A and B are shown apart, each in its own frame.
Chain A
Amino acid sequence: MTTIDYDLEQRAAPAVEEKRKTIEKVSIIISKGSLDGVYPGLIMANGARMEGIDANVFFTFFGLEAITKKRQDRIKVATVGNPGMHMPTLLGVLPGMSWVVTRMMARKMEKLDFPPVSEFVEMIADSGAGIYACKASVDMFGLSQGDFVPQVSGVITVGEFYEEAAGGEIVFT
C-alpha cells in the first residue's frame, strides 16, 4: 500500500524563486562588409551599453569596412545573392541598383533614428566599448592603423581578442 506524502511534495518546491540571470559582458564580431552585415552587430553593441552591459566590437575580414575612414559611410546593401531583398538576381546586378536600394534603406533608417555607420561607431566608442581591428585581416588587406577611424583602440590578434572577451559572451555576425 502506498501513501502520497503531500507534505514532502510541498517541501520539495523551491522556497524562493531563482534570481534572474543577467549578461554582464559581450564581445561582438563583425565580419561582413555590407550594410545588412554591419548594422546588426553595431545595434547589439550599442544596445548592450545602453543596458549597462560591457561591450567590445571586433572587426574582421570585410567588417573592417565599417571602421575604415574612406569606406565606412559608403557601405551598401547587397542586392545580389540576398533572397531577403525579393529582387531577381538579374535586376540586382544592374549598375546603380545597390546604390538605389542603399539610399532607400538609409532614408528609412534615418527616420527610425539609426545613425550612419561613422556616427554609430563613434557613439559606441564613446559609450566605453572597445573597438578593435583583427590583425590577420589588416595584414591581408595591407591596411594599417592610420587607415582606421580614431575610435579604433587597437589592431589585435585573435589571442588578444579572446583575452579581451574573457568572462563574457561572444557573438559572431
Chain B
Amino acid sequence: MTTMELAGVERDADGFLADPQQWNEQVAAEIAREAGIEELTPRHWQVVRFMREAYLATGESPSIRTLGKASGVPIKELYELFPKGPAKLAAKIGGIPKPHGCI
C-alpha cells in the first residue's frame, strides 16, 4: 500500500483515508474534485455525512441498499450525484474505508 499526500493526509492506494479522524470538509472537497465532482452540493453532503455517521456509529460502511433506503436520497439520484459508484465514492469523500459488502 502506498501513501499519497493530500494536504498532509495519509491515504491508501485507492485514495481512501487511512484514518477517518484526519477528515475534514476541505479534504472531502478535494477528494471530490479528484473524482470529477467540482462542487459538493447539499445533496452530496447529505449522502457523505450519512455514510460517515453510519460508519462512525457501526464500524461498517453502509451498503448501497441502506444508502438508498435511509440516507434520504433515492438510488437513482445517488448514481447521478456519484456517477462512478455512489457507495464507494461517498465513502472515499467521507473519509471512511471502502464498503466491503457485495450488495
Contact = CB atoms under 8 A, between A and B. Distances in A.
A47 B101 CA distance: 9
Interface stretch (A87-95, A99-107, A123-131): A123-131
* B contact face: mostly helix, strand, loop, or mixed: helix
Contacts of B76: 126-128
Interface residues of B, number: 18
A50 B74 contact: no
B51 interface: no
A52 B85 contact: yes
Interface stretch (A60-68, A111-119, A157-165): A111-119
A18 interface: no
Bin chain A's interface residue count: 10 to 19
Contacts of B63: 113
B19 to A, nearest CB: 24
Given A46-B64, A50-B85, A112 B79 contact: no
A128 B102 contact: no
A52 B83 contact: yes
B103 A128 contact: no
Interface of B: 63-66, 68, 74-76, 79, 83-88, 101-103
16 contacts: A46-B103, A47-B103, A49-B79, A50-B64, A50-B86, A51-B85, A113-B63, A114-B103, A115-B65, A123-B64, A123-B65, A126-B74, A126-B76, A126-B79, A127-B75, A128-B79
Closest 7 CB pairs of A and B: A52-B84, A126-B75, A52-B85, A126-B76, A50-B85, A127-B79, A113-B63
